[in-house]
Amino acid sequence: MIPTSQFRPGLKVEIEGEPFEMVEFQHVKPGKGGAFVRTRLKSLKTGFVQDRTFRSGERLKRPDLEERQVQYLYKDDGQWHFMDTETYEQFFLTADQLGEERHYLQENVVISVLFHEGQSIGVQVPTFVELTVAKTDPGLRGDTATGATKPATLETGFVVQVPLFINEGERVRVDTRTGCYIERA
């Protein structure tokens, strides 16, 4: 059990059987009445963010979470297939379960998957990934001063805005938190 005095951003708690991650919190001591803690919690299953208030000294349950390292194998009929690196057990996740992280998956890459009571609830890809540009308009030499961009389709099918000098076949580094081009790889 986790008391309110140990609340911090990133803390994972269970409320009414659902796992949440604490986004922010604030201890409040009003002039009249007892102290309380205002929190903003993000559901690990749905991604929904909600505000909750807890009395000072109240305790919350620690969720039954397990993080496993898995290797991405391939995509087939809207299902992304993975293999647990310890048990070699294979399973698949759908687009809804993967969310935006599916755009950064390359075959044979190892990622972390978060499980709650045996069911996958989240995927954690590396912060930066290197992907090959599969399709884009031809690059223009010397046009780097304006900061203009053009769309480029990456090997995973994800479209990102890149500078005009990037050509097909080049590898680029992409920030998975924002989905933005960072630099040439």
Return d(Cα 82, Cα 106) in angstroms, integer: 11
Predicted TM-score (pTM) of the model is 0.70
**Angle, CA of 56, 4 and 36, to the nearest 5°:** 30
Return d(Cα 174, Cα 101) in angstroms, integer: 12
**Nearest 5°: phi and psi at 95?**
-60, -40
Domain 2-60 of CATH type 2.30.30.30: yes
Tell me which residue of 43, 49, 47, 53 sits closest to 18, measured CA to CA. 43
pLDDT of residue 37: 93
Do residues 35 and 27 lie in contact, with contact meaning Cβ atoms separated by under 8 Å? yes
Distance (Å) of CA 53 to CA 46, 50, 70, 135, 182 = 20, 10, 36, 50, 39
How is the chain split into domains, by residue range? 2-60, 65-124, 128-184
Q: What is the pLDDT of residues 137-158, one digit of tens each?
A: 886 666 666 778 889 999 988 9
Q: What is the pLDDT of residues 73-121, one digit of tens each?
A: 998 888 899 999 999 999 888 888 888 888 898 888 899 988 888 888 8
Return d(Cα 175, Cα 104) in angstroms, integer: 9
If 0-12 CB within 10 Å is exposed, 13-18 middle and 19+ buried, where does residue 80 land?
buried
Q: Which CATH fold would you assign to the domain 65-124?
A: OB fold (Dihydrolipoamide Acetyltransferase, E2P) (2.40.50)
Tell me which residue of 116, 118, 119 sits closest to 94, measured CA to CA. 119
Q: 128-184 is classed in which CATH architecture?
A: Beta Barrel (2.40)
Domains 2-60 and 128-184 share a fold: no
